[in-house]
A and B are shown apart, each in its own frame.
Chain A
Amino acid sequence: MANFTSASQPVRRHHAASRAPRTLSRVLIYSALLFWAFVCLFPIYWTVTTSFKSALDVTQGHLLPWLDFWPDWKGWRSLGLSPDSILGTSTARAEFVSRFENSIITSVGASVLALVLGSLAAYGLSRFRYKFGWMRNDDILFFFMSQLILPPVVLALPFLVLYKALSLLDTRFGLILLYTLTVLPIVIWIMRDQFNSIPVELDEAAFVDGLSVWGAFIRIVLPLAVPGLVAAFILSLVLCWNEYFFAALLTSTDAKTLPVMVASQTGSQGINWWSMAALSTAAIAPLVIVGIFLERYIVSGLTTGAGK
């Protein structure tokens, strides 16, 4: 009995000694986490709340709604999106809606096109051996991936001249082509990894059942590749939605996208903070929602091949 207690004593003391630094490290970890969460969220919080502030609230740096300022639909009214102005006609809203529509059409169009071209190529590269002159599969993959290093400026001016000749300047279709190009390497990268993870035996079983290469691809392999498709699609969507450089150079009136509209508003001096804030909020809201609900897919798309 005496033996037992004396034996347990040092153990307990050891525990007590290690608990203090453990709590300390807990506190440090959580405070670091909370600090960075604040860094990430504050600009978004600031933008959203500013869209409800009056000029006085902005200049006095009021931060907390209902406590030190009274929220008002000011910013949203100037966009024609507040409850009291949503039913009336508003040129600001008409412009915003058309830019929003352009952004949706170009980013969805480009993502779909990139997904079609990219997953076909990825499936080919994952399953068959190609020989194209001196180029083998790895070279072809490198050829696609090397597009990533191309800075937009290199293509922007040639495209400006080419699009003028093709009368594709300021069209959504022109933007879709360019956006497809920028996301195609990423789609191929993600989809090749996805197809590599699907066993070849499935294809072979499909061939035995009398399906052609394309039949096996469309009916057997593609349904299994849906997670990769979703990840690639969402990642492309995000990249295309946020693209500014090409859109700024190649669109002027008809095909302007949302980032161009936001940028053109910041350029003008003496812009109302509340309307800028409302516009920024509206521009980022779709992606914030995507980020919150589809985070899993974005992470899986980004980390393709990272853990290997």
Chain B
Amino acid sequence: MQNSSPLADDPHRKLASQRILVRRKNAGRALVVLASLGSFLLLLIQILHSTGVVTVGFADWRPILYAYLIWAIAIGVGQVVVRRERGLRALFLLPAVLFTVAVVIFPTLFGIYIASLDWNLSSFEGPHFNGLNNLIGLFHDDYYWNALRNMIFYAVAVLGEYAVAFGLALLLNAEIRGRRFFRVVFLLPLMLSPVAVSWMIGKSLMEYRFGPAATLARHLGWDDPAFFASPWIARLSIEAMDAWVSIPFIMIMLLAGLQAMPKDVLEAAKVDGASGWQSFWHVTFPLMLPVSVTVLIIRIIFKLKLADIVINVTAGGPGGATDTVSSFIYRVYRDRSNVGYGTGLAMFYLLMIIVFLTVLLRLSSRWTQKVA
């Protein structure tokens, strides 16, 4: 009892330390409020300046960016000062959150605003509000719906990529010599930039006159090996190129799944006299289902962004047969400078992706639960 801390016994000192604590908290809060007010004021001035209400202001919006940065630092410091230990912990997460808010959330909201404008960068009149006209317009845009239909094809084609990749993963998982060599070689296409692939394969290997792929096709009896002339062949050629680049990704994921699979299950199947095909179909495939679903969903997410190859090889042709939504919007902007309409199309696409993926995730989790 005698030894209990002198600090706690001394009410005076305790009060003093509490007072310091309160003062610290107040100082921290004041800093945050001050920084917020300052940046808000700056933003207000700049908005008024750009709308021509006041003459004071900056030539461009760059200072607002710096203001945001300073505000973010002030928030961080404020967290530490006010909440001490917990503030220090929050400091781990804050930079990423503030960055994401600035670079994703804000531009997306801004995009929704742009989507409601009639704004053509090449015309002399500036943006003006036209409400839902962009949205109504896109329902009558046949090229847009055509691109969306193509996306369905491209998304379904992921199943084909998956089948090939599964075969390759099984091959690599077999007892083979030089596994490392084959793994490196099979992975290489993933490293190449889609733009370079567009030229390497789309524009030179598949070239009509003297591309080796065309020569081979002629030898095999196809007299007119035009890979990008008729709609379905063009679509398949684009898909083949994208598959070439992305099959390694699916393969590596499946291979990891195969290697993590318990060996004794397969051996038990062998002891029971299952043939190779049976043990694959009844043991390997069901065990691989969770990995398969994950990799398919990731792959579909990436497939929905497909653009580079289409832009560089066919530019959507022939007649929009290979167009993806991204490549179509790219041309809406590049050829017509139509920022408002293009953003409207993109926003609508995002909405459809979110709905589609939500349904897909629900279905897949229910399905894997039922099977497993």
Contacts and interface: CB of A to CB of B under 8 A. Distances in A.
A116 B307 CA distance: 29
A96 interface: no
Given A153-B329, A306-B257, A58 B203 contact: no
Contact of B61 (A63, A165, A188, A287): A165
B293 to A, nearest CB: 12
Interface stretch (A65-73, A74-82, A119-127): A119-127
B229 to A, nearest CB: 17
A27 interface: no
B34 interface: no
B186 A40 contact: yes
Tell me whether chain A's interface is mostly helix, strand or loop, or mixed.
Answer: helix
B92 A128 contact: yes
B20 interface: no
B96 interface: yes
Interface stretch (B35-43, B135-143, B344-352): B344-352
Contact of B342 (A61, A132, A157, A303): A157
B89 interface: yes
Interface string B93-135: 1011101100110011011001000000000000000000000
Contact of A157 (B171, B189, B249, B343): B343
Interface in A49-93: 50, 58-61, 63
Interface in A1-53: 29-30, 32-33, 36-37, 39-44, 46-47, 50
B289 to A, nearest CB: 13
B199 A262 contact: yes
Given A61-B210, A61-B212, A117-B96, A262 B114 contact: no
A208 interface: no
A17 to B, nearest CB: 15
Contacts of B96: 117-118, 120-121, 144, 184, 188
Best-buried of A116, A144, A149, A180 by chain B (most CB within 10 Å): A149
B252 interface: yes
Contacts of A154: 108, 111, 346-347, 349-350
Contact of A291 (B60, B99, B111, B191): B191
A74 to B, nearest CB: 15
User: Which of the four size classes fits the interface of chain A?
Assistant: 35 or more
Given A37-B186, A121-B96, A287-B193, A273 B204 contact: yes
A238 B249 CA distance: 13
A161 interface: yes
Contact of B195 (A130, A144, A259): A259
Contacts of B195: 242, 244, 259-260, 262-263, 266, 283
Interface in A249-265: 249, 258-260, 262-263, 265
Interface string A265-286: 1110000010011001001100
B51 to A, nearest CB: 13
A290 B111 CA distance: 37
A144 B100 contact: yes
Interface of B: 60-62, 64-65, 85, 88-93, 95-97, 99-100, 103-104, 107-108, 110-111, 114, 167-168, 171, 174, 176, 182-201, 203-205, 209-210, 212, 215, 244, 249, 252-253, 255-257, 259-260, 291, 294-295, 301, 304-305, 307-308, 311-312, 325-326, 329-330, 333, 339, 342-343, 345-347, 349-350, 353-354, 357
